[in-house]
Every structure is written in C-alpha cells, then in structure tokens.
Amino acid sequence: MQKETYNIYSNILSQNLEIQFYGHYGYAIIMFPALSDSASNYEQNGTIEAISDFLNKGKCRIFSVPSINNEIWFSDKYTSEEKSKLFNDYNNFICEEFVPLIYAKCNGPVPIITCGASIGGLLAANQYFRRPDNFYGMISMSGFFNLQYLSKEYFDENCYFNSPEHYLPNLNDSFWLSYLLSKHHVYLYSGSGSNEFPHNTQNFSNLLNSKNISNTSEIWGNEFDHNFDSWNKMLFHILNTKL
C-alpha cells in the first residue's frame, strides 16, 4: 500500500501539521482522529490495515489529518472564548487549506467523504453539514453532535455554528439545503456496548429525517464497545457495502 507523510504549515492555525496519506487512487476520505490528535491514530489502531484491500485496489484514498482537540478542550491553556475561536479556525483550515491540498495531490477535484469516530465523528459531521458544497458524504462512528459536550457551559456564536445539533434545526437556506437534500452518503453508526451512547446517533438521525436529509443509521449490538475494534469493523462494512 502506498503511504506518504507530509509536513505542512497552516497559516490559519499558525502551526505545522503532519499529514498521513494512504492509497493511490479513488475517492478521498478525510479521517479525523478519534482518541488523540495524531494523524497516525487510525494506522496505530489497525484501521488502515482493516481497510487495506480497498486502498490497494484503488477504491479510495485516506487523508488522515491531525486535530487540535486535546490542545483546545482538554487544556487550561486558553479561555473558553479562545477555545471556541480555535475550534472554528480548525474547521476553516480544513476547507480553506486542507481540501485544496487533497485536490492538488489527486491532480484535480475528487469526491471527498469526511469520516471519524468518537470526537472525530463530530468533526466529520460538522465539516460536512457546514460545507456540503465541498463534500460528497460523511461517516460518523460512535459520534456526538452537540459541541456543548466539550464547551460545557460556554456557548457563543462560534460554538453554535460548529454544533450540528444546534444549527441544523434552524437551517432553512435553500442554497445550502439543496446540497444536503441532493446527496445520499451520510452514514451514522454506533455500538450499544461499553461507553457507547447510541441515542446520540439515533437522535441525530431523527433530526436529519425531520429535514428530509437522506441518511443511513445503524445501531449495532452490545458486543460493540467504544473502541477501535468496533470502528474498524464498521468502516470496513460501510466501504464494502455502502460506497
């Protein structure tokens, strides 16, 4: 399998970021880290190996990007207002700097699917629903969709516009809705085992249904816990049967 590591500088975030690319052809999948900020999170936990057949056959390519969640939300380094702004900056980095990098790497525009597990599921959903003009679909595994799980009592405008559970009910703009209503690759998965909260997935699916936004939601059994073993099986299943 082809693998490349890139170090890029983000003008928006004012920092260097290490990016991991896997595969040689196919549609692009942006992978947002689940339980760390590292772009190697999925390779280190067996995800890349689990889907290696799809990568080797040229069905898809993985663009694994680091996050700054631990730096923002689980640190006392910043005020709540600064954390909110940095989170918004990160999402702007994806659309304004990372997506063009993917296009350059693929020699032109390609369909891009956002994907993540746990906190990465929030990042994947938020990117897709904020900018459906940029993305073909999204995959969330064991995700949550309410930024207040991280921002706690603090909730400003940046929080609102990066919290899908808050902004989607009020989305009535025909321009953005037309993108969302025309696409059919939203996948919401959760287990029912240890540390899983399947109601997050089901409630978000219900919200999308209320807006007539097509989505596929599956709640797997009690043997599927909040861990990479579950997520690797889910992603293999989605790539094998849905995409």
Domains and CATH numbers, the chain: 3-241 (3.40.50.1820)
Indicate whether 71 pLDDT > 90.
no
Q: What is the mean pLDDT of residues 115-131?
A: 97
Q: Tell me the per-residue pLDDT of 126-173, one tens digit each, with 9 for 90 and over.
A: 999 999 999 999 999 999 999 999 999 999 999 999 999 999 999 999
Confidence band of 22 (pLDDT split at 50, 70, 90): very high
Report the pLDDT value the prediction gives residue 1, as an integer from 0 to 100.
85
The sign one gets for the Cα dihedral 99, 42, 18, 24 is: negative
The H or E element containing residue 126 is helix 119-130
Q: Which residues contact 52 (CB under 8 A, 6 or more apart)?
A: 1
Residue 67 to residue 48: CA distance in whole angstroms:
18
> Contact, 242 vs 187, CB < 8 A?
yes
- Quick one: which of 113, 131, 232, 223 has its CA closest to 176? 131
Report the pLDDT value the prediction gives residue 35, as an integer from 0 to 100.
85
Confidence band of 5 (pLDDT split at 50, 70, 90): very high
What pTM value is reported for the model?
A: 0.96
- Quick one: which of 13, 117, 121, 88 has its CA closest to 80? 88
Confidence band of 87 (pLDDT split at 50, 70, 90): very high
Report the pLDDT value the prediction gives residue 9, as an integer from 0 to 100.
96
Report the pLDDT value the prediction gives residue 148, as an integer from 0 to 100.
95
> Contact, 95 vs 127, CB < 8 A?
yes
